[in-house]
Copies of this chain bind each other. A is one copy, B any other.
Amino acid sequence: MTGTPTGGAERAAALAPADDALAARLAAAGLDPMPAPAAYLSEPRGRLTGVGGLLLRPRTTEEVAQIVRACAAARVGIVPQGGGTGLVGGQVLTEGPAPVIVSLERMTALRGLDPVGNVALVEAGMTLADLRAAAEGAGRLFPLSLASQGSARIGGSLSTNAGGVNVLRWGNARELCLGVEAVLPDGTILRGLKGLRKDNTGYDLRGLLIGAEGSLGILTAAAMRLVAPPAAQGVAFVAVPSPEAALGLLALAEDRLSGCVSAFELIGRQGLDFLAEVGPEVTPPFRPAPDWMVLIEIGLPAGHDPEAELAALYAEAEARGLIDKAGAVVAQGARQRAAFWALRESIPEANRRIGSISSHDVSVPIAAIPRFIEVAGARLARLGDIRINCFGHLGDGNLHYNAFPARGRSRADYEDRRAAIKECVHDTVDEFGGSISAEHGIGRIKRADLQRYADPGKLAAMRAIKAALDPLGIMNPGAVI
């Protein structure tokens, strides 16, 4: 598009700080503002620090709307916050006038749960784990599952269109959302919580607000899809000789199981080595560890035997040469299934303890994954002695491709090469037709990357939409665009 408006960053520079006068007005309205404590000015890896601001913790959608209207009138920026687990800095404003931080932590109600219609109406501050528990209590599954689900909240998960381990079968956050309630940048409440599976009445504002990372409005509630839980589950670690063989196993599993593969995770040996080096302590499935393994979960209709299915899949995969000599381990019972998953979900914590030089949440076309791993690895090797922990959601083409210091060295030793390492990975992803943010979003950390890699037509349309819905540029200034 031509003649496009300026981006949010330019408009954000013209904002006013959240000052005493605004605080007094909000206090007079019973909204209880306070100087933002440090916990609201940081992010999980401790790499960004917020500029301060006023913290508001509204209890109702109407209170959110009051806050937004007051900020619009005063031209003060707003930073919405959920669980604060995001990894791209969408929750922390690091420059410019001090904003109002709107935490949804007090809006945690389950407004309704309909097990027949398979829909839950939840406020934005509810954690994923709480919604999973509520669904389970009603004999249903809420399938969005992430390592951080105990802290991550619905609003933030939708704002970043979170993914996780079960996207392969049930979709990402956007696909699991049937409608949203939100406060738009002028304080209008968008009421879209019908929770219908089919509703073709106009533009998909739901989908637009999801993944907008708070830059087009504040999500206050959502209608989330539930599903019938698989009657019988099976989980196995399967050692494979190569990423290519892992792909072959995926295709075989999908063909045999017709959509009943719930998760298909690739794990490289480096992940297990990190766990052995720094913990958390886990029991590795294979000794010695193979170069590559897959964590597969299947969920079947009643009356079927998942262990037998996994054994049959293994036999066919072995006949096709897709299995490493280390073999496979099928979890026996619910406790071992949970233990297998706990190992997988410990890898991000081990990564944090090691301390990455640069982390990359990327996707490439699934068929290109083996070649991508080869090419990116060779290129990074030229940039120094780097350990790569490559793991992730193979079934979605989504890899967490993270670069770490060599043993005995620290993140600081690589400071001069960090930008080059990131650029090398992202350029390679781009060459392969991939995405530089598969499931974490853009936030503030990847904003320059978005400008570099995104389609110019997309960027221009995004700017036009941002200017149309948030002409003052107050919504999460500097995030995304």
Name A residues whose Cβ lies closer than 8 Å to a Cβ of B: 1-2, 114-119, 139, 160-161, 163, 167-169, 171-172, 174-175, 184, 186, 188-192, 194-205, 207-208, 210-212, 216, 227-231, 247, 251, 254-260, 299-304, 309, 312, 363-367, 393, 396-398, 433-442, 450, 453-462, 464-465, 467-469, 480-481
- For A186, give its contact among B1, B184, B210, B364 (CB under 8 Å): B1
* Residues of chain B within 8 A of A259, CB atoms compared: 169, 227-228, 230, 259-260, 299
Let me know if A194 and B435 touch, CB within 8 A: yes
* Residues of chain B within 8 A of A116, CB atoms compared: 247, 251, 366-367
- For A396, give its contact among B197, B204, B231, B456 (CB under 8 Å): B197
* Residues of chain B within 8 A of A396, CB atoms compared: 197-198
Expressed in whole angstroms, the minimum distance between the Cβ of A61 and any Cβ of chain B is 12
Give the interface SS of chain A, mostly helix, strand, loop or mixed.
loop
List 10 A-B pairs, Cβ < 8 Å.
Answer: A117-B397, A160-B200, A184-B457, A196-B363, A199-B435, A200-B439, A204-B211, A205-B461, A230-B259, A301-B304
Give the residue among A191, A204, A363 with the most B Cβ atoms within 10 A.
A204
Each complex incorporates copies of this chain amounting to 2
- For A365, give its contact among B196, B256, B458 (CB under 8 Å): B196
Let me know if A454 and B163 touch, CB within 8 A: no
Let me know if A117 and B365 touch, CB within 8 A: yes
* Residues of chain B within 8 A of A167, CB atoms compared: 197-198
Chain B minimum-CB-distance residue to A302: B256
Let me know if B438 and A198 touch, CB within 8 A: yes
Let me know if A365 and B195 touch, CB within 8 A: yes
Expressed in whole angstroms, the minimum distance between the Cβ of A167 and any Cβ of chain B is 6
Expressed in whole angstroms, the minimum distance between the Cβ of A216 and any Cβ of chain B is 8
A350 to B319, CA, bound (A): 53
Let me know if B450 and A201 touch, CB within 8 A: yes
Let me know if B197 and A441 touch, CB within 8 A: no
Known: A114-B365, A115-B251, A467-B468. 18 other contacts (CB 8 A): A1-B186, A118-B366, A171-B175, A188-B457, A190-B461, A191-B455, A194-B435, A197-B397, A197-B398, A198-B397, A198-B438, A200-B441, A200-B442, A203-B216, A208-B208, A228-B255, A256-B302, A258-B302
